[in-house]
């Protein structure tokens, strides 16, 4: 089976990490995956392409001569035909647009469209997400990250849930440290992700402000960057949090922050299945999160993490305090470890291979 996975990303994003990680596991099941990505003329190579090269992942770079290069669709279609692919899967609005054009040109194999959730930072981005979801209606299968997204899928469009995976084995040393947690030192909280409105970092800062007013000692790291960073830094300064909350910025490897902090906070207004949730659990961290996307499907144990209503800063502050106790930290270790084993790469690869088979059964392979 030959799969052409088309993704448009500059950074090594969550979907990009999931894609790269699953390819070797799929290969063991007889599935060959080639990654197709894009490079616009005059721009430096992206870190994602560098990672593909360093890991030896089979890939092709489709050159674009301008922002909306319609010929890129033709070049990708030509490559799909030359490689004789059985199925195309897309990640993002541009790959969806190209897959749709390939269909219009009658030059496409079956198409699986991945929906990873949407961001809301400006009108242009919202327009692109709207276009992506519109075009997905013409795919053979829409793959979503949660039951909530599946329920919201357009009527008549086949859809299926595929959960993200924990990409590395559980961190044994970190789990042991959680068992020995002492609540006599200031608790350390962290938020890790894009600084844009859907991530709810402003609500986290409100919760920190509540804790500060109550005289509670704590420290917090905000790891990531995005369009709302300046606004959030101003909010923190006005709330008197400058000495308590650090803005770290974008980091290539966030693992040191999972290991250095005690409680992971995900105050999002919308999500798919955030990689940071799985990575935090892999490090034995209790999680305080909102019940959006697939988060409640992962945090099925109240000992693993606490769910609070979206936008409720007092509830968020209370849950953060409850999680930073010796009893809660230690008692939930077994449940957090169990979750990391449930959401494994093997489980994700097995489910994805099943979806490939189902689509190809509905739309038979072309003879080679």
pLDDT digits over 139-153, tens only?
A: 889 999 888 888 888
Residue 127 three-state SS: helix
Cα–Cα distances (Å) from 283 to 165, 287, 337, in that order, read: 14, 11, 9
Closest CA to 286 of 333, 245, 217: 333
DSSP state of 246: E
Percent of the chain scoring above 70 in pLDDT: 92
Gyration radius of the chain's alpha carbons = 21
Virtual CA dihedral for 309, 315, 316, 321, nearest 10 degrees?
-140
CB atoms closer than 10 angstroms to residue 230: 10
Residue 320 reports pLDDT greater than 90: yes
User: What local confidence, expressed as pLDDT, does residue 161 receive?
Assistant: 94
Whole-angstrom Cα distance, residue 291 to residue 288?
10
Residue 328 reports pLDDT greater than 80: yes
**pLDDT tens figures, 33-60:** 999 998 877 787 788 888 899 999 999 9
Query: 121 falls in which pLDDT band (50, 70, 90)?
Result: low
Query: 62 falls in which pLDDT band (50, 70, 90)?
Result: confident
Higher pLDDT, 43 or 312: 312
Whole-angstrom Cα distance, residue 267 to residue 290?
6
Higher pLDDT, 368 or 360: 360
Across the range 261-277, mean pLDDT stands at 94
Residue 9 reports pLDDT greater than 90: no
User: What local confidence, expressed as pLDDT, does residue 126 receive?
Assistant: 67
User: What pairs with residue 288 in β-bridges?
Assistant: 265, 306
User: What local confidence, expressed as pLDDT, does residue 19 receive?
Assistant: 94
For 115, the token pair is 């929906």
User: What local confidence, expressed as pLDDT, does residue 252 receive?
Assistant: 83
Residue 296 reports pLDDT greater than 80: yes
Residue 225 three-state SS: coil
Across the range 165-194, mean pLDDT stands at 87
> Are 224 and 14 in contact, with CB atoms under 8 Å apart?
no
Across the range 265-272, mean pLDDT stands at 94
Across the range 156-165, mean pLDDT stands at 91
> Are 353 and 31 in contact, with CB atoms under 8 Å apart?
yes
pTM beyond 0.75, yes or no: yes
**pLDDT tens figures, 215-241:** 999 999 999 999 999 999 999 999 999
Query: 299 falls in which pLDDT band (50, 70, 90)?
Result: very high
Query: 257 falls in which pLDDT band (50, 70, 90)?
Result: very high
Residue 98 CA from chain centroid, whole number: 22
Across the range 168-195, mean pLDDT stands at 87
Higher pLDDT, 120 or 70: 70
Q: Where are the extended beta strands (E) located within the chain?
A: 2-7, 32-40, 59-64, 87-91, 111-114, 141-144, 159-161, 187-192, 218-223, 245-249, 263-266, 287-289, 305-307
For 49, the token pair is 């392409």
> Are 107 and 25 in contact, with CB atoms under 8 Å apart?
no
Across the range 85-94, mean pLDDT stands at 89
Query: Terminal CA-to-CA distance of the chain, rounded, Å?
Result: 11
User: What local confidence, expressed as pLDDT, does residue 182 receive?
Assistant: 75
Tell me the residue length of the chain: 368
Query: 14 falls in which pLDDT band (50, 70, 90)?
Result: confident
User: What local confidence, expressed as pLDDT, does residue 302 receive?
Assistant: 86
Residue 125 reports pLDDT greater than 90: no
Burial code (b: 16+ CB inside 10 Å, e: under 16) for 268-301 equals bbbbbbbbbbbbbbbbbbbbbbbebbbbbbbbee
User: What local confidence, expressed as pLDDT, does residue 298 receive?
Assistant: 94
Residue 188 three-state SS: strand
Higher pLDDT, 296 or 118: 296
For 22, the token pair is 């699953």
Residue 208 reports pLDDT greater than 60: yes
User: What local confidence, expressed as pLDDT, does residue 284 receive?
Assistant: 93
């Amino acid at each position: 089976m030959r799969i052409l996975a088309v993704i448009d990303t500059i950074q090594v994003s969550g979907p990009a990490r999931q894609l790269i990680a699953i390819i070797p596991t799929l290969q063991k099941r007889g599935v060959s995956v080639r990654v197709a990505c894009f490079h616009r003329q005059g721009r430096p190579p992206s870190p994602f392409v560098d990672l593909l090269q360093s890991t030896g992942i089979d890939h092709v770079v489709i050159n674009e001569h301008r922002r909306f290069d319609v010929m890129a669709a033709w070049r990708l279609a030509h490559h799909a035909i030359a490689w004789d692919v059985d199925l195309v899967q897309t990640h993002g609005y541009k790959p969806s647009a190209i897959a749709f054009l390939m269909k219009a040109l009658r030059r496409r194999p079956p198409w699986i469209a991945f929906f990873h959730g949407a961001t809301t930072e400006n009108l242009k981005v919202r327009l692109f997400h709207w276009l992506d979801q519109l075009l997905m209606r013409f795919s053979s299968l829409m793959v979503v990250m949660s039951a909530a997204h599946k329920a919201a899928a357009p009527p008549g469009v086949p859809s299926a849930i595929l959960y993200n995976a924990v990409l590395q084995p559980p961190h044994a040393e970190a789990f042991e440290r959680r068992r020995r947690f002492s609540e006599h030192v200031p608790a350390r909280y962290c938020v890790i992700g894009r600084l844009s409105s859907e991530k709810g970092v402003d609500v986290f800062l409100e919760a920190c402000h509540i804790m500060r007013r109550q005289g509670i000692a704590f420290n917090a790291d905000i790891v990531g960057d995005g369009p709302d960073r300046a606004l959030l830094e101003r909010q923190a300064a006005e709330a008197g949090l400058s000495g308590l909350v650090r803005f770290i910025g974008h980091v290539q490897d966030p693992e040191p922050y999972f290991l250095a902090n005690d409680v992971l906070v995900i105050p999002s207004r919308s999500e798919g299945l955030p990689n940071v949730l799985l990575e935090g659990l892999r490090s034995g961290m209790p999680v305080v999160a909102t019940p959006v996307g697939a988060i409640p499907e992962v945090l099925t144990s109240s000992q693993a993490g606490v769910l609070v209503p979206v936008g409720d800063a007092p509830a968020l502050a209370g849950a953060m305090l409850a999680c930073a106790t010796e009893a809660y930290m230690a008692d939930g270790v077994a449940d957090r470890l169990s979750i990391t084993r449930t959401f494994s790469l093997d489980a994700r690869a097995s489910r994805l291979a099943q979806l490939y088979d189902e689509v190809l059964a509905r739309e038979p392979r072309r003879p080679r």
